[in-house]
Structure 1
């Protein structure tokens, strides 16, 4: 049975096809898209749909590929040797298994999330080529070879902060999550707010897409920010007519801080709305 989304995650037909194709090909699924479009949540919901474990490896600028395999804790071994601990005679006591090792040796085929791979050094993806392709690696300290019991389902996300190497891309199935259209956005909102008033949702979506369509805006509000904004509107019981106030002095929607995240965008939006109403 293929992945079709979950009750908490609305997946487009294209995304469903991409997930199922990657699983069939046993290749990592590389997901790109605007921040806040549900790339990380996809891995969480896929694991839930398959009733399996999710292993999350969140990448930082300082992350090295070796950390995903294992790390040798030489400091702890030195300390234990000074204290006369018998554990020092077995070096395996000081091998810390990384997320790939855990995924390779899992009893049930897990979902492995490598989140925001583009944050790491440019060589990071290349350093994982062999391990992701052959699904094995060698532990030099213990002279053992770790081979995957079964290929984990690998989801890799990127915010396009830097280009990824061609050799790495060749080993992945790629999908770009397009920003949802209004109708798909309604389905997403319905998951979070099934009882929201229709007139409030209509005007909120109108305001939301109006902000996204402003030319020159630096940080377009995302799906997750829309959900946050609607949560505030519902919690404060904001009436729908407040969202379309024709008074130029109130060009910004209420609680706009959930949508606009820098002063340049706020000033730009105010200026354009003032000019349009004149």
Structure 2
């Protein structure tokens, strides 16, 4: 009887065939647009090729990238903007979500208002901030700074400020979305914990510090991991502001922009593919480290 039930469990029925038939287009799409490009890119990374024809060069492309100062500069720019943007985004969006969670009325209004920038495309956001951060008094930001006697700042024209201009621009676009994620987590914190803390005489700040923040640890872990991955893939905003050269003076050149330049401008698909796999390994290692050190014990008890 056990053998019969085992055979029935392993049988392939007509209903199963129909199910696989419905899934087949998706599987074909995954293979065509995900698996095949990954395999092809891995092969290209060991070739000197323009994407059509090439010769096998082994690990020469990887060696060339790891000794290229431009690549290391792009990696530095990517990490620099990623770290500060991620830290500011998580802190500000969590505080904002905590404030929205405590308002007595208008929660949906505030959620809608803060979420609106996320609906705007990267291209539109870049155009908007290129006017806001215009390098003379015409720019709205410099106009207000001038009211306090501060000279105009070259937000996107001065290498010393360009990265921070991008960081501020990315914050404007991402804070609303991240606040919604944090707000969803805040509303799942058991009210009994706050009631017990009130009985013990805890103030609002102490409840926020000792109950809210520890309860939100899984959300923090998720936001840090996703934020790290997105930060390492930065491309659209720096390309719109600094162009393919990452101007001013290469201060906005990121790793993905480095890959784009080699693939589509220099026709060095082998170099670009190798750089893409190096970036893949970096993101993989960062994800593993984040998961290991941040996700040890996500329970409150």
> TM-score when scaled to structure 2?
0.25
> TM-score when scaled to structure 1?
0.26
**More helix by percentage:** 2
Q: Which has the higher contact order (CA 8 A, sep 6+)?
A: 2
Which structure has the larger Rg? 2
